[in-house]
Structure 1
Amino acid sequence: MAGKKYKAALATINRDKFYGVEEAVKMVKASAKAKFDETIEIAMNLGIDPRHSDQNVRGVVTLPNGTGKALRVAVFAKGDKAEAAKKAGADIVGADDLAEKVQAGQMDFDRVIATPDMMVTVGKLGKVLGPRGLMPNPKLGTVTNDVAEAVKAAKGGQVEFRAEKAGLIHAGVGKASFSEKALVENVKAFVSAINRAKPSGAKGTYIKKVSLTSTMGPGLKLEVGSIVG
């Protein structure tokens, strides 16, 4: 049945047309017919080569209306900092004990935050956390003494982004149940963050393509000018 729904949704769009962000959001929402609350996903093709250090695009953005996803946050901290993390809503808090669990493959979390003094321990987990994009990083605000603020940011709609090999970036920017206005605001906030993160080594057209889709629906090309104009 999913195939029929996909074909029906596909019939309503023009694959060659570039849509304004408001129209694209309206159509993507309308095509999200699954029985679950589909994620609205954005994909961007950037004119960069991430293999060069001066062309890396990485950072965080707080979406104004959140992501609609319940993020599980793990915090490496001790003493007062551990207590602060728990009070802020961290799902898992620990130190050497947490490191042992991670080393054993127990990683039931989506974001890792650590205090600077714990990075000696966390650093040893690089081969486990790194490939999953979970390694704490000072530039992303995930290595910090203010763990409470970092936990609140992660839980409040903060999204990490990182360009992959071909200059591709993708992320969830909300749920199909969100209002059109909320989704448009989230899309614009995400694209603006990518625009601000333009690396010094980027030449030519920076944002080449942007598309929007729902988990089970067809993708629409976005008119870049309607987002960052």
Structure 2
Amino acid sequence: MADVAIEELVKKLLEESPQRKFSESVDLAINLKNLDLNQPKNRVDEEIVLPNGLGKELKVGVFAKGEVALQAKQAGAAYVFDDADIQEMKDDKARAKSVADECDFFIAETQFMATIGKTIGTVLGPRGKMPVPLLPGKSIGEMIQSKQSAVRVRSKDKMTFHVTVGRRDMPSEQLAQNIDAVISRVERALVKGKHNIKSIYVTTTMGKSERVM
């Protein structure tokens, strides 16, 4: 169930923001306080599965071979890479950067993790897109579906950061549920919980903003 107050804020935001000719995203701007973000332990770096997804299909890249690679393709992976692809991207950083920017998330069979770290980790790491390992017994199809509904929340060393929680054409109740999920997770990730949050605003890409807290 969505927080009623948040849902009302979202309704107001959508009603008062002009309609655009493209599908706008709905984003949260989160402002922190009383934290030394030069200390990595104080930073927020969370992957959050939104209860209602983002209102668009995210692109998931998978490093795999054999049966797992076939299952990944069937499950809707945007790209499936093997050993040869990794070596090619090692030698062609432009391609590696293009792939890293195009895909929202990556998954890799555990046997590929070390090689990826040594070859294209310098491209994926700074973007916060190092692959999530596919552990034995886990379903690649289920992981892809989960990733397609997830967002990565990263503060890095900034007291203000942004995260997309959906699209403007989604029902306000679904957007409110997504917002509540993000706020709850961020609070749990902070040393002093909500006391480390200065303010949170919800906004559309080119519209006005409303203060959530």
Q: Which range, TM-score by smaller chain?
A: 0.7 to 0.9
Q: Secondary structure at the match of 2:156?
A: coil
Which runs of structure 1 show a deviation greater than 6 angstroms over 4 or more consecutive aligned residues?
none
Quick check: 1:57–1:198 contact (8 Å CA) kept in 2?
yes
Q: 2:153 aligns with which of 161, 170, 192?
A: 161
Rate the CA distance shift 1:65–1:167 in 2: closer, same or farther, 3 A: same
May I ask how many residue pairs the two structures share in their alignment?
196
Q: Secondary structure at the match of 1:171?
A: strand
Q: Secondary structure at the match of 2:56?
A: coil
Deviations 1:20-52 (A, max 9, x none): 423320122121411112100111112333321
Quick check: 2:43–2:156 contact (8 Å CA) kept in 1?
no
Quick check: 1:49–1:167 contact (8 Å CA) kept in 2?
no
The reply to whether residue 82 of structure 1 matches residue 69 of structure 2 is: yes
Q: How does 1:106-121 map to 2 (within 5 A)?
A: 106=95, 107=99, 108-121=102-115
Deviations 1:58-95 (A, max 9, x none): 11111111101221111111222212222221111112
Q: Which amino acid aligns with 1:44?
A: I
Q: Which amino acid aligns with 1:26?
A: K
Which residue in the other structure is 2:20 paired with? 34
Quick check: 2:187–2:193 contact (8 Å CA) kept in 1?
no
Gaps of 5+ in 2: none
Quick check: 2:187–2:194 contact (8 Å CA) kept in 1?
no
TM-score (norm 2): 0.84
Which residue in the other structure is 2:172 paired with? 180
Q: Which amino acid aligns with 1:83?
A: L
Which residue in the other structure is 1:24 paired with? 9
Quick check: 1:173–1:186 contact (8 Å CA) kept in 2?
yes
> Structure 1 CA distance, aligned partners of 2:12 and 2:65?
48
Gaps of 5+ in 1: 1-19, 137-141, 225-229
Q: Secondary structure at the match of 1:143?
A: strand
> Structure 1 CA distance, aligned partners of 2:164 and 2:61?
20
